[in-house]
Each structure stands twice: as C-alpha cells, then as structure tokens.
C-alpha cells in the first residue's frame, strides 16, 4: 500500500492546535514537565497526512516529532494513545484558571536590579521551571 497524499491542514484547524498548545510540545510537558516554547511541527497522530482533523493533530517539538514518526527496532517507541493523553494533559493545563507563583530568594530587592540583570534572572526562572530546578513552585487558584 502506497503513502497517502498529504492534504493541506485547514488554516483554522492548524491555528486551533497552535493556540491550544501555545507552541509547547505535549510530550515534553508530559514526560519532563517542560513548558518551554519549542520549535516544532504539527504531527498527524494516525500517521495519515491526508487526515487534517483537529483530534488527529498535536504540536510536537522537532525531536519528539521525529521520534514519533520513526519506527524503532529495539524500543517500544511513542504510541498514539500516549501522545493523545499527553496532548489532553497539556490542553487541560492551559485551560485551568490558575497562575504559577514562584518563590525565590534574592540578595536584594528585584526593582534594584538593572534591566539586564532582571532579564537574566527571568531566564533562569524559566529554565528552572522547565527542568525542575531548585525554585519552589506552587499553583494558586485565581479568584
């Protein structure tokens, strides 16, 4: 059986996937807790490029998209059910009306830092949130 011909995914469908995922890879979120914005692609979960239905699509980083599309010879590989579950977890996370609060110890008042120092500090916080560094994180419901 030959490969199915790729159909252009409807623009609104593509936009919905990108907005719901916020350019975050659902597998990075599911496996590593990473919420960093990634370069990636929209994957066809049933591996049929002509099926552009939203429920068949997920935003994956380049590494995970490549891994998902590959046929492993020794490992189990990434399964469609797992990606769908990961996608739903990510969508639920962003639909939840919570904010993330970060508590950090600074050696002085944040306002006294230069703009460059503040930017570097914020980058460190984003990295720590992505890789689970030593920053205390808790979610609090917004009322």
Q: Is 43 in contact with 87 (CB distance < 8 Å)?
A: no
Q: What pTM value is reported for the model?
A: 0.67
pLDDT the model gives residue 129:
64
**What pLDDT, in 10s, does the model give residues 18-64?**
999 999 999 999 998 888 889 999 999 999 999 999 999 999 999 99
- 60 with 25: CB under 8 angstroms? yes
For the record, the structure tokens of 114 come out as 């230069």
Q: Please report how the helices 80-95 and 11-21 are oriented relative to each other, as an axis angle in degrees rounded to 10.
A: 70
The structure tokens listed for 67 are 């891994």
Return the residue matching tokens 């639920």: 92
């Amino acid at each position: 059986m030959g490969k199915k011909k790729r159909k252009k995914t409807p623009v609104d469908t593509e936009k919905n996937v990108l907005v719901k995922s916020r350019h975050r890879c659902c597998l990075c979120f599911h496996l590593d807790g990473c919420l960093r914005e990634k370069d990636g692609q929209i994957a066809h979960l049933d591996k049929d490029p002509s099926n552009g239905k939203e429920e068949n699509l997920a935003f994956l980083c380049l590494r995970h998209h490549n891994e998902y599309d590959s046929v492993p010879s020794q490992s189990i590989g990434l399964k469609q059910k797992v990606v769908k579950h990961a996608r739903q977890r990510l969508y639920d996370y962003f639909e939840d009306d919570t904010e993330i609060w970060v508590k950090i110890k600074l050696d002085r008042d944040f306002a006294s830092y230069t703009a460059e120092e503040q930017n570097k500090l914020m980058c460190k916080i984003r990295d720590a949130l992505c890789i689970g560094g030593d920053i205390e994180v808790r979610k609090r419901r917004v009322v």
